[in-house]
A and B are shown apart, each in its own frame.
Chain A
């Protein structure tokens, strides 16, 4: 469904994303992980048209969408959320979500109805009239997902929707994401919370310093010495192995 080949961008001398290629199959729930500053969010920005790549291309449903404007990509059915939540402050939860619903619905009442049903789906059903700026972090993350979901996307790119949530909040969000996938939406997650990655995704790519260093099922990837070193530092894989043997 989504094919990325050789995607690269440099900011000055820093190669933020360096020759990244990956392929997201239709109906899948896959993830992109990596330590802080690895280039995950930049990768999302390149895919959805917020940045123009220096090289490489992005294909969505067989169509080349490299450097197409974000709103056009959203019209085609690929929508992202933001890691740093961006609510329309001063507008109610319902109004926020309705903006997404308006992508394919012209009529105001239709959009509001759709927004209300999406709000219930993500667990915001009891806060429809609340000002988006008054939501808790967990609430705002749900709002991000709801707004994107209201556009009826084919592919949803979720950027760290669980960062900053406490474990019980994470446990509430995981079934929501599963339900979205079961509703027929393909999902690509960026995630820091390993518990979520392990529980949710079928396949994961690991990004470090702009390069893909591993991919595979999350459990295998988590054992991969290269990945452990990327997260914990050089020599850590060896040390962990030694400790395990001594124990």
Chain B
């Protein structure tokens, strides 16, 4: 219960940010942090709670983004319906890939490689189909009306993202107190032992894929509507995959607040790095890569784990 109050408190504070932050630049910074938290939390469902490390989450992101764009541009489907379609297709593709990989018992790095490979396949395919706009990409026509899910004010985009992210975080909160969540974490920690006491690991992992794909797909829809342009490299390239996994690993795997902490930390580091080394393209990725290596070596529980660790040590010392 305490966790829920903290969560709702944080989101209540986030909801009123646009009233207090007048600068477009800073509101955009908070928005991008929230967006990273959404991507990270989606990945966290599968990777942090389920122990299945995907290296190809851009696949679900791209499917969501292209869903809303293609349906809108080619068929004139309203983007609010596209939002549902994007989440749905992200989820369906995730389950499909989960079915193919988990059926053959692929785990660990093999699972990571297969997801990476599928993302690449989709990138190449979307590069050559006319209806995805091929290599030129796809442009959503500017039409700044709420009914077209386009807004004049940045704060409206912000609230849309806030709502999606809140649903995602509430879902993850419920994992911590449900049968499905308990089973998912049991599968993560020991699949054989979980099976011996009646956990159907295959189904549990597919459900986690479905949830993770759903929210990553929704993040894709948001991206498409915010920037109104997609190409195969943006949608299915490795950048989104890396961001998705970096955020929870830095913040704390398998924890509710990890992705928020991770997203905030990475954005602060990213801004500082840009200030210090200038706008050299790609250099921020070098910084992120270094952080990832250091985190895995010295802080495997992430920033969130720092607090837990010291509390536990105090507890132990007191005994």
Contact = CB atoms under 8 A, between A and B. Distances in A.
Interface string B227-260: 0000000000000000000000000000000000
Contacts of B194: 88, 99
B190 A88 contact: yes
A101 B184 CA distance: 14
A188 to B, nearest CB: 14
Interface in B185-208: 185-186, 189-190, 192-201
Contacts, number: 79
B193 A79 contact: no
Nearest to A149: B197
B199 A86 contact: no
Interface residues of A, number: 32
Given A99-B182, A102-B183, A111-B179, A79 B189 contact: no
Contacts of B199: 71, 99, 103
Q: Chain B interface mostly helix, strand, loop or mixed?
A: helix
Given A74-B196, A100-B197, A108 B177 contact: yes
Contact of B179 (A80, A90, A108): A108
A147 B185 CA distance: 15
B22 interface: no
B310 interface: no
Interface string B268-304: 0000000000000000000000000000000000000
A90 B177 CA distance: 16
Interface string A166-195: 000000000000000000000000000000
Nearest to A81: B196
B198 A71 contact: yes
A239 B178 CA distance: 62
A148 B177 contact: no
Nearest to B316: A134
A133 B190 CA distance: 13
Contact of B197 (A90, A103, A107): A103
Q: What are the 6 closest A-B residue pairs judged by CB atoms, nearest first?
A: A74-B198, A88-B189, A86-B193, A103-B198, A70-B195, A99-B186
Interface of B: 177-179, 182-183, 185-186, 189-190, 192-201
16 contacts: A50-B196, A69-B195, A70-B196, A71-B198, A79-B197, A81-B196, A82-B192, A88-B189, A88-B190, A95-B182, A102-B183, A103-B197, A105-B179, A108-B178, A111-B182, A147-B193
